[in-house]
Amino acid sequence: MTIKKLFVDATVQSHPETQRIRRQLDLPVECVEDPVSIYQWINSAVDPVSRGKQVLYLTRNKGGFLKSCPGTREYTCCDYQILHAASFCTMDCAYCILQCYFHPPLMQFFVNREDLDAELTGLFHKKAVSRVGTGEFTDSLIWERWTDLTDHLVTRFALQERAVLELKTKTVNVERLEALKHRRKTILSWSLNTPAVMQREERRTASLEARLTAAARCQKWGYPLAFHFDPMIIYDGCDTDYRRVVKQLFQRISAENIVWISLGTFRFMPALKPVIAQRFPDSKIVYGEFVTGLDNKMRYFKPLRIALYRQMVGWIRDAAPDVTVYFCMEDDEVWQKSIGWAPPPHGGLGRMLDQSAINICALTP
């Protein structure tokens, strides 16, 4: 999707990063003193989400760039750190929580890189291993057309030894990565699903074949890789389809270069259901066998989740016995019944993923 309207926070209109992005976009600029007027304009649309995807607001991150993953105590969290450099996404997935997470939904890019750099310097001085990702509130690689954020982050992480950067995407925007000296401190990761789910529920995303081709290119350039089967959708014949995706993955990618693979089934806040019904009237994903989870999200009935997880773990283990596999936001019972063990409490999963990053990305513990 093309950005059609550019707003700039008046406090950053002369910032060098603002000027660089303006040159790339070549759009008329509207400077605003208060973003409330933008919010009102977006909310006045019949489909605020679609309008918000065509608008870019350049502003300052007034909070911290680095945040802990917002897990819940009821489910095992991976202790990830989010690098909040931008918000929202130009792609359009039916299941995307960002449709309800931001009020209103608006593409934002934070130009105050000097503050981001200061936080990264503090992170790099810590003695512990850190896993950092930019893909929580946006797709990590949709910004390639307008900014050099990826180049900057990959270069910065390459100059230290205890932190790894994960760039998660559904795009194939990898061309500029070839020339970067990354020293294996950046993981390129892709969200994967079945072609049926991609075609029905993931508008304007790259195909499965295109994603795997991009991953193979990054592997050739020396980058470690990761993959996320999340959210997995349960439908008639999904087990056959997911098994085929796992086979295709390991036909293209070396198991020894995969840092981790995560599994997670579709879960959603109740407020997302009417949004999906309105914006994706042909989608059936919210009409499965769901119950209210401990985090008040709707989740597939637990035996259904466990049955699919057990199959996925088995297929992955057959192809790659030593690859690190984990579940995103599941409880001990699901872990035990799906994979045969559960991470120790109080950071056990985080330590397991840290060790995988140490082994494959050559971090210094």
**Which pLDDT band holds residue 72 (cuts at 50, 70, 90)?**
confident
Give yes or no for residue 1 having a pLDDT over 70.
no
pLDDT digits (tens, 9 = 90+) for 301-341: 999 999 999 999 999 999 999 999 999 999 999 999 999 99
Mean pLDDT, to the nearest integer, of 91-110?
93
Topology of the domain covering 5-361: pyruvate-formate lyase- activating enzyme (3.80.30)
Q: What is the pLDDT of residue 101?
A: 87
pLDDT of residue 365: 86
Provide the edge-to-edge strand list for the sheet that holds 267-268: 267-268, 298-300, 290-292
Indicate the range of 18-27, 180-189, 222-231 predicted with least confidence: 18-27
Asked if the model's pLDDT at residue 73 lies above 80, the reply is: no
pTM equals: 0.96
Q: What angle do CA 94, 96, 102 make, to 5 degrees?
A: 125
DSSP 284: -
Q: Using the CB atoms, write b or e for 132-142: b if 16+ within 10 Å.
A: bbbbbbbbbbb
pLDDT above 90 for 216: yes
Answer yes or no: are the C-beta atoms of 37 and 9 closer than 8 Å: no
Output the pLDDT for position 330.
96
What would the mean pLDDT of 22-31 be, rounded to a whole number? 93
pLDDT at 71: 73
Per-domain residue ranges of the chain: 5-361
Mean pLDDT of the 69-91 span: 90
* 134 closest CA partner among 58, 55, 187, 176: 187
Alpha helix stretches (DSSP H) within 103-237: 113-124, 149-158, 195-201, 208-220
What are 293-308's pLDDT values in tens digits?
999 999 999 999 999 9
